[in-house]
């Protein structure tokens, strides 16, 4: 590379070379975006928001590790996972937006907390903040990615061509996420007394939020054939988790469930207190400059 080449086409260069993050629409290029006949579009939008918000909020949490990880390799790995989830979120919010007449940013930045439909597991602080540590983060990632992988593998059969394409693309990513989390679970479970204790504590911290992942929501029922009923994933995911915990010498926590709030939880837009702060941080710049272009 010559000295001046580094600057070549800085002015006016072709647009196609720029973008890291614009690839997502291309990733689904050629996919039929028409809505399948007879599908309840509002339910489809709600469903895409559920899965999209799970990914967006979990990605926001994971990105908090960037520059704070235990080693450089892990900074890179966690950023990778956060980027994959962000990519999934963008595709899902875009799909929801096709029904709602909004773009991904309007949905991510201009909805209020009560309109977010992610599960609580995605939003709770599992570290590097005071709510956890690296082991807690790994515990969440293990549960989240095992569940989401099972879900996406069924979603490949969705009657919605876009959801089907998103699931196909996401499958490989999620398999890597789960593998990464499983390897760390084993390393920490087996490593030292301290790491074993922390890994067990991490599992105990996230376990009350597991049950919500498998709760059937009315949207799932309305969208039979398009959506996956999460209740149908339970035994598969339990099996995976059991195998990993076994290999790690860890104990499956007792099945305590976080109570719902007047019968509601994340899928109904009812969140933990942590969610308000997360959104305040994520949304404040976008909201403070209305009309700005980014």
By CB under 8 A, name the binding residues for other proteins. 1-3, 6-7, 10-11, 13, 17-22, 56, 60, 63-64, 66-76, 79-80, 82-83, 86-87, 89-90, 93, 104-105, 108-109, 128, 133-134, 186-188, 190-192, 194-195, 198, 281-282, 284-286, 289, 291-294
Q: Which is nearer to other proteins, 234 or 286 (CB)?
A: 286
**In angstroms, what is the minimal distance from the CB of 261 to other proteins?**
26
What is residue 38's DSSP assignment?
A: T
Dihedral Cα 21, 24, 30, 34, nearest 10 deg: -130
Q: What ranges make up the beta strands (E) of the chain? A: none
152 and 120 in contact (C-beta within 8 Å)?
no
Rounded Cα distance, 184 and 201, in Å: 14
Q: Which is nearer to other proteins, 128 or 170 (CB)?
A: 128
| Residue 189 vs 230, nearer CB to other proteins | 189
Q: Phi and psi for 53 in degrees, rounded to 5?
A: -65, -40
Quickly count: other Cβ atoms within 10 Å of residue 15's Cβ. 8
Which of 233/279 has CB closer to other proteins?
279
Please state the closest distance from residue 50 (CB atom) to other proteins, in A: 17
**Shortest CB 278 distance to other proteins, Å:** 8
Minimum CB–partner distance for residue 195 and other proteins (Å): 3
Q: Give me the least distance between CB of 242 and other proteins, in Å please.
A: 20
Secondary structure of 197-244 in the HEC alphabet?
A: HHHHHHHHHHHHHCHHHHCCCHHHHHCECCECCHHHHHHHHHHHHHHH
Q: At residue 264, what are phi and psi to the nearest 5 degrees? A: -115, 160
CB nearer to other proteins: pick between 137 and 153: 137
Rounded least distance, CB 58 to other proteins, Å: 13
Of 6 and 262, CB closest to other proteins: 6
What lies within 8 Å, CB to CB, of 33 at 6+ separation is 98, 161, 162
């Amino acid at each position: 590379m010559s000295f001046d080449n580094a600057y070549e086409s800085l002015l006016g260069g072709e647009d196609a070379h720029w973008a890291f993050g614009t690839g997502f629409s291309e990733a689904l290029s050629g996919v039929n975006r028409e809505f399948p006949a007879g599908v309840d579009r509002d339910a489809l939008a709600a469903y895409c928001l559920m899965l999209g918000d799970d990914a967006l909020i979990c990605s926001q949490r994971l990105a908090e590790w960037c520059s704070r990880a235990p080693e450089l390799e892990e900074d890179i790995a966690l950023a990778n996972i956060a980027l994959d989830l962000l990519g999934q979120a963008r595709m899902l919010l875009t799909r929801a937006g096709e029904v709602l007449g909004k773009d991904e940013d309007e949905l991510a930045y201009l909805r209020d907390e009560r309109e977010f439909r992610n599960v609580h597991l995605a939003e709770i602080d599992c570290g590097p903040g005071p709510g956890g540590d690296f082991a807690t983060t790994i515990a969440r990632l293990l549960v989240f990615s095992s569940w989401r992988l099972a879900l996406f593998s069924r979603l490949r059969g969705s009657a919605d061509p876009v959801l089907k394409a998103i699931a196909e693309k996401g499958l490989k990513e999620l398999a890597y996420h789960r593998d990464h989390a499983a390897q760390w679970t084993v390393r920490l479970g087996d490593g030292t007394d301290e790491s074993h204790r922390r890994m067990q504590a991490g599992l105990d911290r996230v376990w009350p939020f597991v049950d919500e992942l498998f709760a059937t929501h009315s949207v799932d029922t309305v969208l039979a054939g398009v959506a996956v009923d999460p209740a149908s994933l339970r035994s598969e995911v339990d099996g995976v988790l059991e195998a990993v915990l076994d290999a790690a010498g860890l104990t499956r926590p007792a099945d305590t469930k976080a109570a719902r709030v007047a019968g509601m939880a994340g899928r109904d837009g009812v969140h933990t207190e942590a969610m308000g702060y997360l959104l305040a941080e994520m949304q404040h710049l976008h909201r403070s400059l209305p009309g700005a272009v980014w």
